[in-house]
Amino acid sequence: MLNKVVVGCILWLALAGFGTIRAQDFCSGSGGGFSINGVGGTVAVTGCAPFNVTVTNTVAGANNLAYNFDYKGENVPGTSTATTFRYTQPGRYRILQVGSSGATGIALCREVIVVDRTPPNVQIIPCSGNKVKVIVTDNNVARQYDQLEIDWNDPAASNDFINKGETLEREHTYSGTGQRQVSVRGVYWDTQGSCDGSEWVARTVILSSIQLNTVAISRVEARADGTFTLSYLGIQDVESEVLLQPAGGTYAATGVKNNRGGNQQMTASLPTSGGPYQVRLRTTDACGNALESNEVAVMQLTAQAENEQNVLSWNRYAPANGFTQYQLLRDGVVIQRFTNIANLTYTDTDVQCGETYRYQVIAVSATVQSLSAPVEIMAVSTQKPDAITQAIVSVEQDGSVSLIAFPPAQGQTTTYKMVFERSENLAGPYVEVGVADNTNRYSDATARTSERSYCYRILYENACGNRSDPSEVLCTVWLSRSGSNLRWTPDRPFTDAIGTYFVIKYNTNGTSAETGVGTSQNYDPRLDDPDQQEFTYQVRVRSGNGSFLSYSNVIDFRREAALFLPDAFSPNGDNINDVFRVQGTFFDAFQMIIYNKWGEVIFSSTDASQGWDGTVRGERAPEGNYVYKVEIKDNTGKPFVKTGSLLLLR
């Protein structure tokens, strides 16, 4: 223990002597000497991390030796008598040796370079034609090496090298097929060290039987939004790009790409001008081999609405080789096929005014279908529809007029208007009173059908705004009373001839009875029921062919309530005119009051069968004049009052 203390004191005294000369860095000292892993001299020693070093003193007679394996220029560095050390991280390090030789301190520094040997990241890609491409990821790992070495493991070829600053890609073509192993490593050029680079990175690759000519377009579909979608068979990890060629131009890249295999789709924009366009794919593998696919015409359809017809036209399909037919679709159904590639127009006359039709053309070849974007167009027409030939007017129970018209045979459309005109007499003038959209019925609530007959004309307006001529004039049947007879207007309420009139009588108990009167326009109702105060009548007319029925307004016959009272009576017990009572018909509620000459009530009754017997509070009333007042309500609820005087005789 005492010896170690003495040695340490002598060592630091020696170091202190150096410190008075160069206090900042002991590497400026002299007299030292050691080898690193057997390498003498003063040159730097290079090794791969982790790097184990062993130092050996080469100064004869030196003693009190110590080392710092990562000296950074400290004034008082830590030292150790250990002669081995392990560097785990890449970097540049200095080993400091200190000691003494005789009475003189010695020192020496040597540099150790520890380099990274992380293997580069490598991608091996098979290309068409048995070609293989090596791609090294461009990062700090790859750039630290002086060189990258590629071993193709091909007896017919030597290794390839990529030097610093060169593109980190290489290609090689093998003969034959099957599986190959490609190895890549990083290389350091320093031959004095023990590290010449990384471990080999081995990748197995199966030589590709890829044929770029298998990429083919099978379908092109243009869309209304100005894009088109093409379907094709792709190759996994091989890029295909959409190319477009305008009419009379050359193919240009669209930037739309895909590198997935199998059945694929890509969508690209179609320019608004310069068409029609041709489309094809350019397929390029990782080795730069490129091949263009079959070309397909993008079909473009135009439609023009003309009178009673839609005119359609489209571009000629190209290439002509393999062309089979054009298919023209309307609303999703094929309406025409053309096997001649030069047939580029079609006129569709099977159209209806105001209807919207959706057209599409499909060009079909042996291996491809090209679909245009759908085009919608509304058919137009200037032709006037036929006049309405079947219609009817009828009065409803609420007094309104119901009108029904059937659309004409020619010029009829799915959407339409019925225009209704009215006049208060047959000759006119007629004014429009209503329009019904997409229905053949209309109700005229403004007509006062109990006061007169109204005449109507009906017009049909189709979806193109074309109006027909007016229909025949149709008039409501107006029922009125002339004295005790019923009469009605003779004008037709429908477009057929009049067949038979029927007079309908409605009873208060809810029953009805009807009487056919032929073509007569009057009727005597014969109000002969003594128990019925009120009678309701209506006329129904049936057309000659039996297809139409029309009703008139409803009319009421009402008989007034009747009251019969004597002027005098003689309550003398002879059973002749002994009681003053009311006789009458058609009343329900009843009240009779008798007044004396002073206006006093001397008798009252609410029973019509009970009359005044000529007594007042049980005593015989004196002869003379008296006043009566009778109040009733008839069977319809109408009030009635009758007053008068009577003479009491004894």
User: What residues make up the domain containing 180?
Assistant: 122-206
CB 23 within 8 A of CB 75: yes
Q: Mean pLDDT in the chain?
A: 91
- Based on the domain organization, do 183 and 288 belong to the same domain? no
Given a cut of 70, whether residue 10 has pLDDT beyond it is no
Task: Residue 67: name the closest of 35, 45, 41, 38 by CA.
Answer: 35
Q: What percent of the chain has pLDDT above 90?
A: 75
pLDDT (0 to 100) of residue 237: 84
Average pLDDT of the residues in 525-547 = 82
Phi and psi of 360, rounded to 5°?
A: -155, 145
In this prediction, residue 193 has a pLDDT band, given cuts at 50, 70 and 90, of low
**Within this chain, do residues 7 and 109 fall inside the same structural domain, yes or no?**
yes
Q: How far apart are CA 593 and CA 627, in angstroms?
A: 8
Mean pLDDT of 444-451: 96
pLDDT for the residue 557: 75
Do residues 406 and 327 share a domain? no
Whether pLDDT at 532 is above 90 = no
Q: Which of 601, 296, 232, 546 is nearest to 241 (CA)?
A: 232
Residue range 208-217, pLDDT digits in tens: 778 899 999 9
Higher pLDDT pick, 2 / 372: 372
Candidate from 74-88, 406-420, 429-443, 624-638 with smallest mean pLDDT: 624-638
Q: Give the per-residue pLDDT at 489.
A: 97
Residue 528 and residue 398 in one domain: yes
For residues 415 and 395, the answer to whether their CB atoms sit within 8 Å is no
CA of residue 169 relative to chain centroid, distance: 49
Single residue among 519, 542, 559 that ends a domain in this structure: 559
Q: 94-129, pLDDT tens digit by residue?
A: 999 999 998 899 999 999 999 999 999 999 988 888
pLDDT of 191? 54
Number of domains making up the chain: 6
Contact 471, 386 (CB under 8 A): no
Pair (481, 447) in one structural domain: yes
Question: Reduced to 3 states, what is the DSSP secondary structure of residue 411?
Answer: coil
pLDDT at position 509 is 79
Q: Is the dihedral of CA 321, 251, 302, 371 positive or negative?
A: positive
- Give 495-504 pLDDT, tens digit per residue: 999 999 999 9
Asked whether residue 637 carries a pLDDT value surpassing 90, the answer given is: no
Distance CA 462, CA 470 (A): 14
Which tens digits make up the pLDDT trace of 221-266?
Answer: 999 999 999 999 999 889 999 999 999 999 999 999 999 999 999 9
Query: Considering the entire predicted model, what is its pTM?
Result: 0.60
Q: Could you tell me if 461 and 547 lie in one domain? A: yes
Q: In this structure, are 370 and 400 located in the same domain?
A: no
pLDDT surpasses 50 at 17: no
Instruction: Please provide residue 21's backbone torsions phi and psi, each rounded to the nearest 5 degrees.
Output: -90, -50
pLDDT, one tens digit per residue, over 346-398 is 999 999 998 999 999 999 999 999 999 999 999 999 999 999 999 999 999 99
Question: Same domain, yes or no, for 555 and 567?
Answer: no
